A = this chain, B = another copy of it.
Amino acid sequence: MENLVIIGGSDAAISAALRAREICPSVQPTLVVADSYPNFSICGLPFFLSGEVTNWRSLAHRTREEIEQAGIRLLLNHTATKIDSDRKTVQIVDREARTTELSYDQLVIGTGAESIKPNIKGIDLPGVFLLRWMDDSFAVHKRLTEEQPQSALIVGGGYIGLEMADALTRRGMSVTVVEFSETILTTVDRPLGDLVAKELERHGVKVATGVQIESIEDHGRSLTIKGTNEFSAQADLAIVAVGCRPTTTLAAGASIQTGARGAIKVNRRMQTNLPCIYAAGDCVETWSYLLNSYTYLPLGTVAHKQGRIAGENAVGGNRQFVGSLGTQAVKIFDLVAARTGLRDVEAQEAGFDPFTDQFETWDHKAYYPGAEKMIIRITGDRSTQRLLGAQILGHHKSEVSKRIDIFAAALFNKMTVEQLNDLDLSYTPPLSSPWDPVQMAAQAWVKNRDHL
């Protein structure tokens, strides 16, 4: 029986363990988990902090018992400190600094990512928080419940920053979001980001763009936060959410090669450069389906897929990671913003000749109550008409996220924009139109491209 050791306790690690068991029931994987929270949905932290999730334990995708019943051995509160790839051992340390060694036949590294800690004076002050793991969220939660802060400043207008703006507003706090770029939510095009900013402002959130935070000072209960463009604000709490980077100290120490943004280099079988060592999830480079190259794009969906493949291959399988389209969705108050594939600028950089068209329509037949406007941006190659990417902004009841998935399925199958009109999509007046908005947008793209 192969001895499978997996370092990590989040999406990639658990997926690898489950898949290994599924393919090869005689394997009993050992997971080395740095904290006490294996298989927690860290994407759910903002909803715990908003109060919408009342019990943090429900954030677990599976309970500890379920994982163990699935035949997976959990070594909680153990940190892997060293990999010896010649001897095929991993050194692990517990919370009392006791060191032991695990032997492996096959090893999967799923160490994930960590919050980027920007160069802000005062970032280590007690009222300033990063947010990635469960312990981070407990620290914020303690502050929220014990100190009852009335205001918050959030550094970073990406997914976590905006979800936290939504979350803390729901708690009744006064919230300011500060973003370095000229628009928030830079993962989508500016017209959509600007509408998300309006949605935030509609709910009382102040949004400051083009500002780099430089210093945070503590004045007892309140923080003074200063930045470029003479930005200055007071807040009882600050959350810094400016992105993440791969956690690769362990891998680098074992001479495992790293690449883009310092992430672990893997092939499509999720193998590192060292024999019998796989890696998956937020700690690795990700194959881009459309760019045909490796990028760094840490997403939970991708971590699940990569982990599943690493687990399958670690027990003798031979499966390739097909690649990521960068499909993603986020809900901010009443809106959902979603994207898949390439945006215009990314398509240009990749050597395509892109044309991007924006189309607005109702999410379902306007005569049926509750119709909401939806904006769809399609990017396609001008000459070949190949679909390259799409972005949708709409109401959270408008099936935005699964409409972006229609585009994702089309991208996966290398369809043209016009071919979207051949898809036999469902229709009933409360939910769509005879041509789904996705198809109306495709027809507009073709028409406007032709008229150029």
Q: Which residues of A contact B (CB under 8 A)?
A: 11, 22, 41, 43-44, 47, 52-53, 58-59, 61, 289, 299-305, 308, 322-331, 336, 338, 340, 365-369, 396-397, 399, 401-406, 408-410, 412-413, 415, 421-432, 434-436, 447
Q: Which 8 A-B pairs have the closest CB atoms?
A: A402-B402, A409-B409, A413-B413, A329-B426, A325-B424, A58-B367, A399-B402, A322-B422
Given contacts A53-B367, A327-B424, A413-B415, 6 further A-B contacts (CB under 8 A): A41-B365, A47-B367, A58-B366, A304-B435, A326-B424, A399-B401
Q: Choose among B336, B429, B447 the residue that contacts A41 (Cβ–Cβ < 8 A).
A: B429
Within 8 Å by CB of A47, from B326, B331, B429, lies: B429
- List chain B residues, Cβ under 8 A from A413: 409, 412-413, 415
Q: Which residues of B contact A331 (CB under 8 A)?
A: 428, 430-431
- A390 CB to nearest chain B CB (Å): 11
Within the complex, the shortest CB–CB distance from A294 to chain B, in Å, comes to 15
Query: Which residues from chain B contact A425 at a C-beta distance below 8 Å?
Result: 301, 327, 405, 408
**Shortest distance from the beta carbon of A60 to any chain B beta carbon, whole Å:** 9
Query: Which of B58, B401, B412 is A422 in contact with, Cβ under 8 Å?
Result: B412
Contacts of A436 in B (CB 8 A): 402, 405
Once the chains bind, are A428 and B59 in contact (CB under 8 Å)?
no
Give the complex CA separation of A336 and B61 in angstroms. Answer: 27
How far does the Cβ of A246 sit from chain B's closest Cβ, in whole Å?
Answer: 19
The residue of chain B having its C-beta at the shortest distance from the C-beta of A48 within the complex is B367
Is A44 a contact partner of B409 (Cβ separation < 8 A)?
no
The reply to whether B368 and A52 form a contact with Cβ atoms under 8 Å apart is yes
A119 to chain B, nearest CB (A): 30
Could you list 6 A-B pairs, sorted by A, with CB under 8 Å?
A41-B429, A301-B427, A329-B426, A399-B401, A403-B405, A408-B426
Residues of B within 8 A of A366 (CB): 58
Tell whether, in the assembled complex, residue B434 and residue A368 are in contact, meaning their CB atoms are under 8 Å apart: no
Q: Are A429 and B43 in contact (CB under 8 A)?
A: yes
CA distance A299 to B427 in the complex (A): 9
Whether A423 touches B405, Cβ cut-off 8 Å, given contacts A413-B415, A434-B301, is yes
In the complex, chain B residues whose CB is within 8 Å of the CB of A22? 447
Cα distance A224–B325 in the bound complex, in angstroms: 60
Q: A43-B429, A289-B424, A402-B399 are in contact. Are A53 and B408 (CB under 8 A)?
A: no
Report the separation of the CA atoms of residues A325 and B423 in the bound assembly, to the nearest whole angstrom. 9
Whether the Cβ atoms of B397 and A402 lie closer than 8 Å is: no
- CB A329 to nearest CB in B, in angstroms, measures 4
State whether A423 touches B409 (Cβ < 8 A). yes
Residues of B within 8 A of A427 (CB): 43, 299-301, 328-329, 401
CB distance from A431 to the nearest CB of B (A): 5
Q: Which residues of B contact A58 (CB under 8 A)?
A: 366-367
Structural contact, A402 and B406, CB atoms closer than 8 A: yes
The distance in angstroms between the C-alpha atoms of A366 and B405, with both chains bound, is 21
Our pick among B61, B329, B410 for the contact of A431 (Cβ within 8 Å) is: B329
CB A430 to nearest CB in B, in angstroms, measures: 5
Contacts of A368 in B (CB 8 A): 44, 47, 52-53
